[in-house]
Structure 1
Amino acid sequence: MISFSCRLARERFVLDANFSIPGGCVALFGASGSGKTTIAKLIAGLERPDRGHIAIDGRVLVDTAAAIDVPVHKRRVGLVFQDGQLLPHLSVRQNLAYGRYFAPKDEPSVPPEAVIDLLGVGHLLDARPATLSGGERQRVAIGRALFAAPRVLVMDEPLASLDAERKLEILPFIERLRDELALPIVYVSHAVEEVARLATVVVRLSDGRVIAEGPPAEVFASALPGGGSDQLEAVSFLTGKYLRGIAEFGMTILSHPAGEITLPGRYGSGNAAVRIAVQASDVTLAIEKPHGLSVRTVLKGHVRTIAAGDGPSALATVELLGGDRISAYLTRLAIADLGLSEGREVYALVKSVSIDPRAVALLGSRPAQPGR
């Protein structure tokens, strides 16, 4: 359990945020300047609130009313930053060992060999940071944080400085931390795809305040059609089961009660469950089952709600056969021309190439790396 209630006033910014959430991976999500990093620093002890209370699993780190402020080195918070911040004159082995200086002698921690295996850095132990790729440096930085036996891991936009390929390399390792170590993670990001894949709970921030809190499917589905950046943040979650792979084209087909979902890349095997996140701006609706299109994913359902703003856009939510819901941005003109209304049978179309591989996750098993 992570309990946070703090106020911090600066000259041009005021943080006044409250949330209390269970373990797992908690994503702090919002635009730049919304307060994500400030909350991470307050948890780690790098900032002090004007007033507030912070507790991790019942252990109080900050309580201004009771004059409690646990020092940084005693908070048991593992920190991972954008650039890794490895010590350049030390080898990977020595960088990892550096984290052990901060581990309590009398408390159990993850065995070093398990951390090295978990992050796949065994072959890098004698290398220096300058010879590592960006993804390798971040894996070592995560390992150093784990060697300190933290009670919570705070990751401040750990993938922001990496290219798309390196991001895909790191995401499965963070999933393993979440699933295999059961270590609470506070994950700071403004990337919808990363949060959709990793988070068990999302705390959405704007101007220093919490504006939404809950499971990713609920938080990201709550965006309303008002144009601007929000139009890219309405996200739906679909779960299908591995049906077959098409090796010659590098594709995976998932079965879903509403139809088949076609994914670029290779995901799963057997009867594995796969969850994908789909942005509403990548969904098209049809009132008849289409033919002769390049779109491969066609899912049957009925319109559940239509929410229209003041502008030309609207957000339609479709309940698919099987219970999943998918949202689509479309124009109010299209709604009128198609005669869309609540209860109308429709087909939701999703282009395979629009599905971001960062937002695809295997459920109930070790995550697979796309294309491997």
Structure 2
Amino acid sequence: MLSVQIVKTYNQSSGKSFVLDVDFQVPAGITVLFGASGSGKSTTLHLVAGLVEPERGRIAVGNDLFFDSSSKINLPIKERRVGYVFQQLALFPHLNVINNVAYGLHKLSKGERLQRASAMLEAFAIKHLAERRPNEISGGEAQRVALARALVTRPRLLLLDEPLSALDAIIKQSLIADLKRLNNELNIPILYVTHDRAEVITLGERVLVYSDGKIIAQGQPMDIFGAPAASSVARLAGVENILQGRVKARHTERGTMTCDFGGLEMEIPLTNAAAGETLTVAIRAGDILLAAEEPRRISARNILAGNITKIEEQDFRVLIEVDCGVALRAMLTHEARTELDLKIGRQVWLAIKTHACFILDSTG
């Protein structure tokens, strides 16, 4: 179990102060630190590793204290037994691969260092690279070398700072498979920093969502991203439609209520909100159906007519923005866009099920 309760203030060049104030406990396994750049994720890793000293707080792995301001304990970096993979990898350019991996084993004899490093290279399927220098290997291979170096010392905690950010999709998938295997074998806490939502879903057993130096949500990735409870989390989770409206009428008999979003009315799930109360509602673009003709005899309660105002081509999908009185975004495949002959200015209809709308805490 990793226990972290820390506060650290940084004075920025703008004259403002950035305060990191986090408190969390995580068991063995992969915990993802997710959030926008500058929210405090990497800073947390620096503090846990001992690269930076907190102003106050406590850091412990199991019963072993790394830092405790009340007891004036601040364990040196070398005594913390923490494996760390930096975003820039920080491989030594003058050393070959096997000596990069063996670097942290200075207390062992040369023979023992090379033997353990060689075994770690074999575990990552890079033993054939042992004599090469970092400038002679690929990005994916360098990432495996960095992971091998972090793990060869048999750490009790592993810190990974955006380790896959510079890799292409195919190499990234291969390394994700490696990380999943390692997670099953190591049985240690792993803190994994990313701002990639797909990595959170694929890798994380739990996620801590960061914003402005604080953790604003935590839990299992599908719970946090599937139906985020706060507006700030919904935005970070990539929810494309976030609307503010006012409750117009409650329909207790069918478990819904009508909400007015500035002239556009929709039925949303019934809550305790009273008529006249303001709500924030989120709808994922992938939960909105788009039709070239007005749908009839369909179960969705919300059928909205509008005109296409924007078409955004993405790798495997198309984001269509439709003006229905307010702008709503729907997600389609490229094939569907072609079949429906969608163009700017064309009238279309959006079908939205009541329960595709989820209510947010607008203050969060």
Quickly name the TM-score band, shorter chain normalised. Answer: 0.5 to 0.7
Shift of 1:112: 4.5
**Residue among 200, 222, 225 paired with 1:220:** 225
2:173, 2:355 → 1: CA distance?
38
Q: Which residue of 1 aligns with 2:172?
A: 167
2:32, 2:148 → 1: CA distance?
20
The answer to whether structure 1 residue 93 and structure 2 residue 98 are counterparts is: yes
Q: Is the 8 A contact 2:121 2:130 kept in 1?
A: no
Shift of 1:161: 2.2
**Residue among 7, 21, 35 paired with 1:16:** 21
Amino acid at match of 2:228: A
Taking the TM superposition and a 5 Å limit, the aligned residue runs for 1:1-372 are 1-11=1-11, 12-101=17-106, 112=117, 114-223=119-228, 230=235, 233-234=238-239, 280-285=284-289, 287=298, 338=351, 340-342=353-355
Q: Is the 8 A contact 2:26 2:189 kept in 1?
A: no
Q: Is the 8 A contact 1:29 1:190 kept in 2?
A: yes
Shift of 1:111: 5.5
Shift of 1:139: 0.4
Shift of 1:285: 4.4
Amino acid at match of 1:98: Y
Q: Secondary structure at the match of 2:167?
A: coil
1:227, 1:29 → 2: CA distance?
13
> C-alpha root-mean-square deviation of aligned residues, in Å?
3.5
Shift of 1:45: 0.3
Amino acid at match of 1:13: F
Q: Secondary structure at the match of 1:85?
A: coil
Amino acid at match of 1:341: T
Question: Which runs of no fewer than 5 residues in structure 2 stay unpaired?
Answer: 12-16, 110-114, 241-282, 291-297, 301-325, 331-347, 357-364
Shift of 1:232: 5.0
Amino acid at match of 2:87: Q
1:227, 1:63 → 2: CA distance?
32
1:103, 1:203 → 2: CA distance?
37
Relative to 1, partners in 2 of residues 1:204 and 1:339: Cα closer, same or farther, differing over 3 Å?
closer
1:227, 1:55 → 2: CA distance?
30
Q: Is the 8 A contact 2:9 2:55 kept in 1?
A: yes
Relative to 1, partners in 2 of residues 1:102 and 1:46: Cα closer, same or farther, differing over 3 Å?
farther
Amino acid at match of 1:221: G
Q: Is the 8 A contact 1:26 1:187 kept in 2?
A: yes
Amino acid at match of 1:282: G
Q: Secondary structure at the match of 1:188?
A: strand
Q: Percent identity at matched positions?
A: 38
Amino acid at match of 1:8: K
Q: Is the 8 A contact 1:232 1:280 kept in 2?
A: no
Q: Is the 8 A contact 1:36 1:188 kept in 2?
A: yes
Shift of 1:314: 9.8
Relative to 1, partners in 2 of residues 1:222 and 1:4: Cα closer, same or farther, differing over 3 Å?
farther
2:192, 2:236 → 1: CA distance?
23
Report how many aligned residue pairs link the two structures.
258
115-124 or 206-215, which deviates more: 115-124
Q: Secondary structure at the match of 2:164?
A: coil
Amino acid at match of 2:186: L
Q: Secondary structure at the match of 1:230?
A: helix
Shift of 1:187: 0.3
Relative to 1, partners in 2 of residues 1:162 and 1:63: Cα closer, same or farther, differing over 3 Å?
same
Q: Which residue of 2 aligns with 1:249?
A: none
Amino acid at match of 1:150: P
Amino acid at match of 1:41: H
Q: Which residue of 2 aligns with 1:263?
A: none
1:56-95 Cα distance to aligned partner (Å, 9 max, x none): 1221101000001000111111110112111111111111
Shift of 1:164: 2.7
Scaled by the length of structure 2, the TM-score of the pair is 0.63
Q: Secondary structure at the match of 2:235?
A: helix
Relative to 1, partners in 2 of residues 1:339 and 1:174: Cα closer, same or farther, differing over 3 Å?
closer
Amino acid at match of 2:4: F
Shift of 1:284: 4.0
2:99, 2:225 → 1: CA distance?
41
Relative to 1, partners in 2 of residues 1:225 and 1:213: Cα closer, same or farther, differing over 3 Å?
closer
Question: Which runs of no fewer than 5 residues in structure 1 stay unpaired?
Answer: 105-109, 236-278, 290-310, 316-333, 344-372
Relative to 1, partners in 2 of residues 1:7 and 1:121: Cα closer, same or farther, differing over 3 Å?
same
